[in-house]
Structure 1
């Protein structure tokens, strides 16, 4: 291993670079920090660690899940690449890192019938225009109807709600801006929510004290409580499951993968391709029906 000493604060400099050059969000930076801290707990000085030390992490982290192992090793590869780029090391020991042998799990998805039961329950509860019930229906419509992340949804400002154009202005990961279509029914529910919403908070879904917004934890709780009332297994329901359902059901309906990437705010289409598992049967039928060789058979 060759190194130019052990510069103080190299992990902090790495995190600063992620924030400044890649626009990494606060949650992303916190995750990178935890992964680097986990490695430092095992190896001590990360800057001085050699290939043998990194290889030992496979045994040290044998109890963690394949996904956690893959994430930690990814953080370390980027960290050592940064050290080399900055001239803080002459070599990159990251090829010695252990590799997780696991396929990325397919996302949990609710069926269309289950989503319909979910929406029906929310609509029935909101029939009397009780503010809490109308708010929950609006949250559900935007999660399933627009595919928003939980963090994007709860932090929406009132100014994001469209007046004439059927789009929401959303700030996603890394501060990236995108426009998300809002269905006619979702716009109608949003209008109902704005009519019964109290206070002057700048947030579309304010917290009780109005100093902040509804938290992701509370959103999670509200959805699980609604799922139980709708006769669904609460353990199968979360904001991200509804985002998965949005993507999967759009693909089933014939949506283009690139369009879906834009709607979901994915930086890399490889992330969006996880949803193509729903397309296998439809694609086989398409080839059998349309390909010239099918007609020869």
Structure 2
């Protein structure tokens, strides 16, 4: 069969994973960047992405190391290549998979940053009074209460449809990665914050409708192209609230608040598989990293209850 150009093969691969796996836009962009970078490198070394052999790919990985790229970046680029060449083999573009026996650098096991319960409480308190007017304060309180109550990913949070929170539901249906839906329970403080924000939001939307503007379907509407608050704006808002709560803003982000949700649940005795479901992790191994929070609690329990730690009994 005639050789397919690298550009066309990458495009076909991206279309396939978008259709078959429901890959998110950010995931597709990452695959595209990684494969485009590799294709450019191979083109500069007298071969092509579609013709590269195992030795070529290993040389490419060595060049990434020589550039000083982080281990996680190198691991991700190899993962992209592995996915691509598996697809190329399955499609009959190649008779072999050149990455089959190539092991990458692996990802460093990095414990997620988190916050104490007191630090989160301080941020929630600040969020309730952070904003230029009452409506903005209500929106900010709702954002932070929802995030800490549910552990949503930032994209899931800012793009919530308003219908999902109508009627003071006990559970929230979330559309997560790969188009997969999951249910997460809502705390009473989160439900109360949603109710207050919906009053302000609906009043603002009604004024917009009377001036001829289309109604928004999002819980947190915005004027931008997406129609809802952006990830970047919420990221900046988290930094502002952290600063006002006397926390170092460099150690606080929406993802850190998601980690705090999981960490505090686990420390309180929640089952790891329940946390996996709530976070929307496809693989339990992604959730197991939170078990580090149990180390101190388990050590304390052993020291308190194990007979060998109580010291010798004294004779009466």
Give the TM-score normalised by the residue count of structure 2.
0.85
Consecutive unaligned residues of structure 2, counting only runs of 5 or more, are: 206-214
Gaps of 5+ in 1: none
The residue number in structure 1 matching 2:169 is 165
Matched pairs, number: 292
Matched, 1:257 2:262: no
The CA deviation string for residues 114-146 of structure 1, in whole angstroms up to 9 with x for no partner, is 1111112223448x9701111111100111111
Change (3 A) 1:119 1:60: same
Choose which of 200, 220, 223 in structure 1 pairs with 2:235.
220
What is the CA–CA distance in structure 1 between the aligned matches of 2:152 and 2:74, rounded to whole Å? 28
Tell me the distance in 1 between the aligned counterparts of 2:273 and 2:106: 28
User: Could you say what the CA RMSD is over the residues aligned between the two structures, in angstroms?
Assistant: 2.4
> For residues 106-255 of structure 1, what are the structure 2 equivalents within 5 Å?
106-125=111-130, 130-197=134-201, 198-199=204-205, 200-208=215-223, 212-255=227-270
Shift of 1:170: 1.0
Q: What's the offset of the Cα at 1:283?
A: 3.6
Q: 2-side partners of 1:246 and 1:111: how far apart?
A: 10
Partner of 2:9: 10
| TM-superposed deviation, 1:250 | 0.5
In 2, distance between residues paired with 1:58 and 1:115? 41
TM-score by length of 1: 0.90
Per-residue deviation, 1:211:
6.7
Go from structure 1 to structure 2 and tell me whether the alpha carbon gap of 1:293 and 1:163 turns closer, same or farther (over 3 Å shift): farther
Q: Deviations over 1:3-37 (max 9, x none)?
A: x6532322222112211211111111111111111
Match of 1:34 in 2: 33
1:99-123, Cα deviation, whole Å (9 max, x unpaired):
2155221111011111111112223
State which structure, 1 or 2, has the greater radius of gyration over its C-alpha atoms: 2
